[in-house]
Structures are given as C-alpha cells and as structure tokens.
Amino acid sequence: MKQTKIENFNKDLLNWYDLNKKLLPWRMTLEPYKIWISEIMSQQTQVETVIPYYKRFIDKYPTLRDLAEADDAELLKLWEGLGYYSRVRNLKSGAQQVMNEFGGKFPTQINEIRSIKGIGPYSAASISSISFNAPEPAIDGNLFRVTSRLFEISDDISKSSSRKIFDEKLRVIISQDRPGDFNQALMDVGATICHPKSPKCDVCPLKDYCQSFQTGNQENFPVKSKKIKQKQLYYQAFAIKLGDKYLMVKRPSAGLLADMWTFPLVEVEENAEVTLPSELRNQIVKFEEIGEISHIFSHLKWHVRLIVCQLEDVITKDGLMIHNQAWLSEKDLKTRALAGPQIKLFKLLKNN
C-alpha cells in the first residue's frame, strides 16, 4: 500500500473502532499487569466467558505482587472452568519472575516481555502495543483471518513459519500513533464482522482495502490445514461415600487437568466389565453402575461410566488412605478445583 492509502486505512479503521469497540473491563486501563491477565485469559477463550473470571481475578489479586504470593490451590480454584489450566500456573511463575528479574516492575521492552513464562509472540506484542505504545502487530486468530483476506495471503496459518509473512505485512500498515488500538480494532473487526463463515463485508470499514472482497474470495481465506481427530478414551469412575464425604483423588501436577480433583478413575477398554480399583477391592461389598458421561477435550474424548459403591460397615477411613487421596465433603470441595468431567459426574449422581 502507498503511504496515503495506509493513512486512510488507519483513519477508517480507528474511526470505526472509536464508534464500535467492545466495552470490556480490561479496556478501562493500560496497566500492563491487568492487560497481561486479560490476554492470558483470552487465549483460545471467548470474551464473554472471560469477563467474570477477569473481574474475580483482579478483585482477588489486584497487583502483580499479590499474584506472585498467591496460594496455588486458590489460584486453580479461581480458574476452574476456564480450561487450559497451565495458563494460571505460568501466570504465577511469570509474576515471580517479574519480582525476581525485573524488581517487581513489569518490563517495558518486547523481548523482555516475551521472556516471561506463558507469554508468546501474540501476547508480548499485544501487551507492548497496548501498555507501551509499541508498533508491534499482535497476531491472533482474528488478525490471521482479517489480514489473509485483506491481502489474499495463501500461506497456511497452521504453520508457524507463516507468522513472519503476516507480521511483515502488518508492520507496514500498523498505526504508529495508536498501535494498541490498531491491534484491538482489527481483533474487533475479526470478531464482529470478518467472521470465518459468512463475513459481513457490506458493513466492513475495510472493504475498500480488502483484496479478497474485491475478488469475492473472502471465504477462501485463511488457508488452514490442521485438523486432528480426538482420541477416544474409556474410564470407570467410582463414587465412594462415607458419611458426608467422598473419596476423591488429586490428579498429578503435570499433564491433563493437573492438580484437579476427581473420583477415583480407572482407564479401561470400551465395554469392559466393572474393574474396581485394586486398592479398594477388599472393602467394597456392593456396587452399581448408574450411568455414563462424556467429555470432549481439544484432543481427546472421555467416556466415563459411573459406579456407586457400598463399603463394609466397619471400614475406617484410614484403611483406605492412598497417596494423593482425601475424603472430602461438599463443603471441602468448595475450595478444591474440580475437573470438568467431575462436575458432570456429580450431576449424574445427584439426578440418580
């Protein structure tokens, strides 16, 4: 684009943004700490979902120091239901990193910001542009889509090598005066107008600049190859109650649903006979299968059959203690993060 066209592009884009921007709680501030939290929460997550989590998070941890000193279990509980739980783990370790390496002051240079755990190229650029006015394109899914349509870029956005192509194109046109608003404006255009399917080109502020609109090829962009099928996994879950407490298991501290609580789970073949956990086999006098839930992850699908067990009358809790297990009442569970499938299992149990 010629220089005058670039100026007009920014004028049209930013005028549109000033009139149509989404009012979001993190758009009331430029504090890097708060922008950081909002960016991490927003990764692969719809804005409407994020809003209540963001408010609770800032209420509970108003400063970076509060986050650096946060209790792990409380943090995870606050994140419960948002998904991608390593994000909150990285957030805390990132906060500690800022305390240690940057004297508690959020770094201002993009390469320093990029070095913080959990901050990748997108988030680093977004924070730099919003909080520090750096002309860095923050390329998320929206910008990939909008930019690919603007310039008819056919590089596969699933490949990490394609980012450079988009970055170079955007670097030329990004507003030098309002780079943060430029990024957010393109995101809003992507989210509200330039949809993946049936984009609303008639009301788009960028239609005069959009190559794919002129050729009618909007829906052919972006080019995206990746699609993986979910693997099917089968489990049996055991509801074992003693008084008002359930036997619960804390998952390992790495991997899927790390540190979250579930009923004891046994992975089985599809349609397998009920297989009581070996540690409990002697104490269980009766069991009954009451139903099944399924839960879809990005890369897996769990099929979980729920089996309600009766213990021997004389059993003591101590007799059943195993590593990383605990007897927890409903009240105890209010302070523990529950895995997604576990929420469904409780509902199934209650409805039975």
Q: Please report whether residue 224 would count as binding DNA according to CB under 7 A.
A: yes
Indicate if 39 belongs to the active site.
Answer: yes
- Judged by CB under 7 A, which of 11, 56, 60, 159 binds DNA? 159
Q: Which stretch binds DNA (CB under 7 A): 64-72, 237-245, 314-322, 338-346?
A: 338-346
Q: Does 340 bind DNA (CB under 7 A)?
A: yes
**Tokens matching residue 39:** 């960016």
264 binds DNA (CB under 7 A): no
Applying CB under 7 A, the span of 12-20, 165-173, 238-246, 289-297 interacting with DNA comes to: 289-297
- In 3D space, the residue among 235, 242, 340 whose CA is nearest the CA of residue 297 turns out to be 340
Q: Considering only residues 28, 111, 202, 227, which one is a binding residue for DNA as defined by CB under 7 A?
A: 227
Q: Of 52 and 62, which CB lies nearer to DNA in the complex structure? A: 52
**263 is a contact residue toward DNA (CB under 7 A):** no
Nearest CA to 147 out of 135, 133, 165 is that of 165
Radius of gyration, alpha carbons of the chain: 25
Cα(201)–Cα(137) distance, rounded to whole angstroms?
23
102 binds DNA (CB under 7 A): no
Query: Residue count at the site for DNA (CB under 7 A)?
Result: 63
Running DSSP on this structure, what letter comes out for residue 193? T
Q: How far apart are CA 174 and CA 169, in angstroms?
A: 9
* Other CB atoms within 10 A of residue 349 CB: 17
Interior angle at CA 110, CA 105 and CA 114, nearest 5: 85
Per CB under 7 A, does 298 bind DNA?
yes
- Residue from 242, 272, 300, 321 that binds DNA (CB under 7 A)? 300
Closest separation in Å from C-beta 321 to DNA: 26
Q: Closest by alpha carbon to 133, among 111, 109, 98? A: 109
| Closer CB to DNA, 28 or 314, in the complex | 28
**Are 233 and 302 contacting, i.e. CB atoms less than 8 angstroms apart?**
yes
Does position 229 bind DNA by CB under 7 A? yes
